[in-house]
Each structure stands twice: as C-alpha cells, then as structure tokens.
Amino acid sequence: MGTLYLLFELFCRSRSRVILCQRVNPKPVPRRRNDESGRYQEVYSDEDILSLLEGTRLSTSEVADQLDCHRTTAHDRLTELEDEGKITSKQVGNTLLWEIQPQS
C-alpha cells in the first residue's frame, strides 16, 4: 500500500476554501541507524527482494513499488545482490530488468 494523502477542507472567515494535504505513511518503514553517519536508513532483507524476483524479471521501479521504497534505495539493494552473485541484471532500452541468478 502506498502513501496515503488525507485532505482536510477548512473554510476561513472570507468563505474561501483552503485545502491542506498531510502525508500519512500507513505502515512503519524498516529503518536502522548507520553507525558511521548516525543517520537512519531503510532496510530490506535479501529474502524480501529474492522472493519478489522468484520466477520472474522485474524492473527497478517495479521492485521499489512492491517494497514501498524509493527507486534509488531499490537500485542500491539490487546492485548489492548482483555484486554478491545472487541476481543478474539486463539492460532493456532504458530499463534494468533483474532476475535471480540461474543455477549452472
């Protein structure tokens, strides 16, 4: 489920309508503090990503949508898994398609 936007309508004294938009995240995002920078970063396990790619090829954006994370975060995690030899990527036009490394 993606980010929800809740709209609240308020009427000011001049009877003109004002709409405020508040971003609400429906589920907690997994995070961990980076020891070097002290900043929080999102965490997605290898198993989460590999289960998405089971028996199919997905683009970086499709993986990001299913993990409910930013495309850059998904790309970084996918690249880590590719460097470990667990998945492969293939450039198709402007898109990278990712799949589980075939067993030889």
pLDDT, tens digit, for every residue of 61-72? 999 999 988 899
Number of domains present in the structure of the chain:
1
Instruction: State pLDDT tens for residues 22-65.
Output: 444 444 445 667 778 777 666 788 898 999 999 999 999 999 99
Max CA distance (Å), the chain = 72
Q: What is the pLDDT of residue 43?
A: 76
Computed over every residue of the chain, the mean pLDDT equals: 75
- What is the extent of the structural domain holding 40? 4-100
**Residues whose CB is less than 8 angstroms from the CB of residue 73 and which lie 6 or more positions away in sequence, other chains included:** 42, 44, 64, 67
| Backbone φ, ψ for residue 102 (5° rounding) | -65, 140
pTM as predicted: 0.61
Q: What is the CATH number of the domain that holds 18?
A: 1.10.10.10
Taking each helix axis from N to C end, the angle separating 60-67 and 71-83, rounded to the nearest 10 degrees, works out to 110
